[in-house]
Each structure stands twice: as structure tokens, then as C-alpha cells.
Amino acid sequence: MDFDKVNYVDGVLYIQKDDGLECIDETIAKEDEKTIITAFKMAFPNGKPILVTLEDIQIKKITEMSGTCEDIIINKFYSTCLGDSRRFDCTDRDQANIQGLVAKAQLILSGMATDNLLDWKESGVAECYPFTTTQAIMLGSDLFNHITEKKKRYEKLKVYILKQTEIEVIQAVTWDTDLEGDVSEK
């Protein structure tokens, strides 16, 4: 039997067919299916080796760098909008709220706002407090720059990873890996 499209893992036989993947649980397998399972176990007593390609390793590393990028965007956003560098929460909801704060600051400056309230807070502070229009706009600008810098860094790492042909080099890549000619903020 040709086992190129067959694998057996944790009591389940997987057979790749043209119309999809068939999964056969050994505990409820029919006699002919049990014969295939027995033949597979005899052919691969220690299990079928899993072949990992260079592309698999590149995809895994790119996925890891994407997660790192998102973590840094969310957890390491600092702004000097209040004078000194302070950390601000930066989840998707926080980003939307900051964008709304900036939009309202622009409405206030144009005289189109119904009130002049601009309240926000830095990380670790329980309650929001008033911001000036300048502080709100600067916070939004800092947010934009923060996200853009991190996304650019991720894209450069992705290109670097895809150019590599040695598994060890790919596996050694971290967010802080020096890329020749890259001066972007990590």
C-alpha cells in the first residue's frame, strides 16, 4: 500500500483523498480499515516522520513575528502628549477611542463640537481626566507613528525571513534581529 497520503496519529488514521480528508478512529474502524491501520503501523513502527519544509519554517517564524508585533503595539505604546513619556493602553478599542478623541479635538478647533470635553487617561490610572486639543491630537499622532513603525518593522522582518535559505538563520530571528540598513525603531 502507498502511504504517501496516509498518516496515523493518536489512534486516528488520516487518508488524504481528492475530495478531502478522511479520518478513521481506530476504536470504531471497520475490518478493512483496521487492515490499513495495521499495515501502516508495521510500515512505520515509530510513526511516520513529519517532513518540514523551509517554507513551513518561514511561515512559522513570520507568524511568530506577527504576534510579537501585535503584542508590542498593544502593550508598549508611549506618548509624550502630556509632557513626559507615559504608557497608554492600545487595544483595538483603545485605538478607536483615541481616534475618536482626535476627531473630537478637530471638531472643537473648528467650532463644530457641542461641548469641549476631551477626557482620556494613561495606563494604570483609574479615571479619565481632561486633555487639551493639542494633547489629544498629539496622542493620536503618536499612536499613528507607533503603529506604523511597528508594522514597518514587521514587514522588514518578513521580507528578511523570506529571503533566507538556512533554517538555523530563520529560527534565530527575533524582533530585535539587526537587519542591515534598517534604522527603524524596534
**Can you tell me which residue has the cell 508611549?**
78
Q: Residue 143, Cα to own-chain centre: how many angstroms? A: 18
At residue 51 the predicted structure's pLDDT band, cuts being 50, 70 and 90, is low
Cell of 7: 498518516
Sheet strands (E) in 1-142:
6-9, 12-17, 20-25, 77-79, 86-88, 119-120, 129-130
At residue 20 the predicted structure's pLDDT band, cuts being 50, 70 and 90, is confident
CB–CB of 95/130 below 8 Å?
A: no
Separation CA 157–CA 169 (nearest Å): 12
Separation CA 176–CA 160 (nearest Å): 13
pLDDT of residue 1: 62
CB–CB of 105/138 below 8 Å?
A: no
Cell of 82: 502630556
**77 or 8: whose pLDDT is higher?**
77
Separation CA 3–CA 14 (nearest Å): 10
**94 or 16: whose pLDDT is higher?**
94
Average pLDDT value for the chain: 91
Indicate whether 50 pLDDT > 80: no
pLDDT of residue 105: 97
pLDDT of residue 185: 59
Range among 15-19, 56-60, 157-161 rated most confident? 157-161
Would you kindly state where each structural domain of the chain is located, as residue ranges?
Answer: 6-43, 54-171
Closest listed residue to residue 162, CA positions, set 59, 77, 92, 67: 59
Residue 62 has a CB neighbour count (10 Å cut-off) of 18
**77 or 44: whose pLDDT is higher?**
77
**What's 123's DSSP letter?**
T
pLDDT of residue 5: 79
pLDDT in tens, 121-174: 999 999 999 999 999 999 999 999 999 999 999 999 999 999 999 999 999 999
